[in-house]
């Protein structure tokens, strides 16, 4: 494919220029623009260089946002100017890598150049572009800067760099996650990793605020990854991370984590609950909290032993993980959000895809608080289980 070759040979910061040249030459495109979802998942930010002439577009009520949300190409007719011979079409194409929704590629074509075959080719080009953007981010800040609607705090910068992505899809499952406040998060985090046989998923909540909370979470997440990559079982991963955190902080700071190891072939789950993150399950229309034996947070005491518990997920299950910044969020009058309100939020979002659920739940949480800025950071992770 000409576009793939052009993207692979382009400089990391010039991917948009490369795809623009190909689409202009081969498809007579009038314009080509790339928009990336901002950290708060509220707008699609244009990838451009100063002076910036394009404005962000809404994720929720724009043609590009429609393509982003539905993860399907969306075509709109654009009326031509008085000197034009006819209308053009503007094609909005989701830019997604293995289920991680990055943004939208918008291509304006002469009306006669659009057909179903062309749409399929453009969708493939958008997918290739997404893969190249992910690789290019190792060598340029262009795409990370484009995602910023506001300035990130240093703590938030460190937290976002830890994440594997915000969504992921495989035949057995779909994952979605979101942090709030997106530009000032400090202690909450999530991590996942999959092999041919297993999915590992961690939801963490570090104590403290600002840079201290971010440093604690960075230490714990990297300790957990180190243990996981050494092939240790789940309980031993927790024990090794516990030792690493305690060795550094001597019990002054600690981190709560809910750890899951899921067998993809059977849905058998091993879990370690070491602190405050909670898990709720939507199964056959009913929401229930999944109970665990509470164990000590990582780093609270020296050489804590952890024990893994077991349960099973069934095809059609939706698992929703939340930090204490969700279920403890209070109104001005002091009423906590709690499990009942969270259950209603899970029910009201049951028709959404997993990648859309966290942001929707956090919007409902914001309405409960009655103020846009939370007292504590909040995390929601959604796992839709399909099984094999």
Rounded-to-integer distance, Cα 69 and Cα 103, Å: 10
Give the pLDDT confidence score for residue 69 in this predicted structure.
95
133 and 203 together in one domain: no
176 and 93 together in one domain: no
Is the model's pLDDT at 268 over the cut of 60? yes
The arithmetic mean of pLDDT across residues 356-376, rounded, is 82
What's the number of domains the chain is made of? Answer: 2
Rounded-to-integer distance, Cα 112 and Cα 95, Å: 24
132 and 195 together in one domain: no
Q: Are 116 and 141 in contact (CB under 8 A)?
A: no
Last residue of a domain, one of 116, 147, 178: 147
229 and 200 together in one domain: yes
Domain containing residue 339: CATH number:
3.60.40.10
254 and 223 together in one domain: yes
123 and 219 together in one domain: no
223 and 282 together in one domain: yes
Domain containing residue 111: CATH number:
3.30.450.40
Last residue of a domain, one of 120, 147, 174: 147
129 and 163 together in one domain: no
Is the model's pLDDT at 82 over the cut of 50? no
Alpha-helical runs (H) found in 137-257? 142-146, 154-162, 210-229, 234-249
Lowest mean pLDDT across 31-40, 80-89, 153-162, 322-331:
80-89
Last residue of a domain, one of 81, 113, 147: 147
Token pair 């709109």 is found at 76
Q: Are 191 and 221 in contact (CB under 8 A)?
A: yes
Is the model's pLDDT at 129 over the cut of 60? yes
258 and 344 together in one domain: yes
Residues 193-231 have pLDDT tens digits of 999 999 999 999 989 889 999 999 999 999 999 999 999
Give the pLDDT confidence score for residue 372 in this predicted structure.
61
- Beta-strand runs (E) in 14-81: 31-37, 43-46, 57-58, 74-78
User: Domain limits at 107?
Assistant: 1-147
65 and 81 together in one domain: yes
Compute the half-sphere exposure of residue 348: CA atoms within 13 Å on the CB side of its CA: 14
What are the DSSP calls for 201-216, one per residue?
EEEEEESSSHHHHHHH
163 and 308 together in one domain: yes
Compute the half-sphere exposure of residue 331: CA atoms within 13 Å on the CB side of its CA: 9
Give the pLDDT confidence score for residue 90 in this predicted structure.
95
Give the pLDDT confidence score for residue 85 in this predicted structure.
54
Give the pLDDT confidence score for residue 373 in this predicted structure.
64
Largest Cα–Cα separation, the chain: 77
197 and 257 together in one domain: yes
Q: Are 140 and 147 in contact (CB under 8 A)?
A: no
Mean pLDDT score across all residues of the chain: 92
What are the DSSP calls for 59-74, one per residue?
SSSSHHHHHHHHTS-E
Residues 300-352 have pLDDT tens digits of 999 899 999 999 999 999 999 999 989 888 776 777 888 888 999 999 999 99
- Beta-strand runs (E) in 99-197: 100-110, 167-170, 173-180, 188-194
């Amino acid at each position: 494919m000409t576009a793939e070759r052009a993207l692979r040979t382009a400089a990391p910061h010039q991917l948009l220029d490369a795809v623009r040249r190909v689409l202009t030459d081969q498809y007579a495109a009038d314009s080509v623009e790339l928009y990336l979802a901002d950290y708060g998942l509220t707008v699609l930010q244009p990838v451009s260089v100063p002076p910036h002439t394009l404005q962000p577009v809404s994720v929720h009520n724009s043609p590009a946002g429609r393509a982003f949300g539905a993860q399907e190409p969306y075509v709109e007719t654009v009326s031509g100017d008085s000197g034009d011979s006819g209308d053009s079409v503007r094609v909005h194409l989701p830019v997604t890598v293995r289920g991680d929704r990055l943004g939208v590629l918008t291509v304006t074509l002469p009306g006669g150049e659009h057909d179903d075959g062309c749409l399929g080719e453009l969708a493939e080009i958008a997918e290739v572009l997404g893969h190249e953007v992910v690789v290019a981010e190792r060598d340029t800040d262009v795409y990370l800067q484009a995602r910023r609607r506001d300035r990130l705090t240093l703590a938030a910068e460190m937290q976002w760099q830890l994440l594997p992505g915000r969504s992921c899809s495989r035949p057995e499952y779909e994952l979605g996650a979101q942090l709030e406040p997106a530009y000032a998060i400090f202690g909450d985090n999530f991590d996942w990793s999959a092999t041919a046989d297993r999915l590992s998923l961690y939801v963490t909540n570090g104590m403290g605020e600002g840079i201290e909370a971010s440093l604690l979470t960075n230490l714990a997440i990297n300790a957990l990854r180190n243990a996981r990559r050494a092939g240790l079982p789940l309980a031993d991963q927790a024990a090794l991370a516990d030792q690493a955190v305690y060795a550094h902080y001597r019990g002054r700071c600690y981190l709560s984590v809910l750890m899951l190891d899921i067998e993809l072939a059977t849905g058998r789950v091993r879990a370690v609950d070491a602190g405050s993150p909670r898990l709720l399950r939507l199964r056959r229309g009913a929401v229930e909290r999944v109970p665990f034996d509470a164990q000590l947070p990582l780093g609270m005491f020296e050489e804590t032993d952890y024990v893994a518990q077991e349960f099973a997920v069934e095809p059609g299950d939706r698992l929703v993980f939340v930090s204490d910044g969700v279920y403890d969020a209070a109104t001005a009058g002091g009423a906590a959000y709690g499990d009942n309100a969270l259950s209603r939020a899970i029910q009201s979002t049951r028709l959404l895809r997993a990648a859309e659920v966290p942001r929707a739940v956090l919007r409902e949480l914001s309405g409960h608080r009655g103020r846009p800025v939370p007292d504590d950071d909040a995390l929601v992770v959604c796992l839709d289980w399909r099984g094999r």
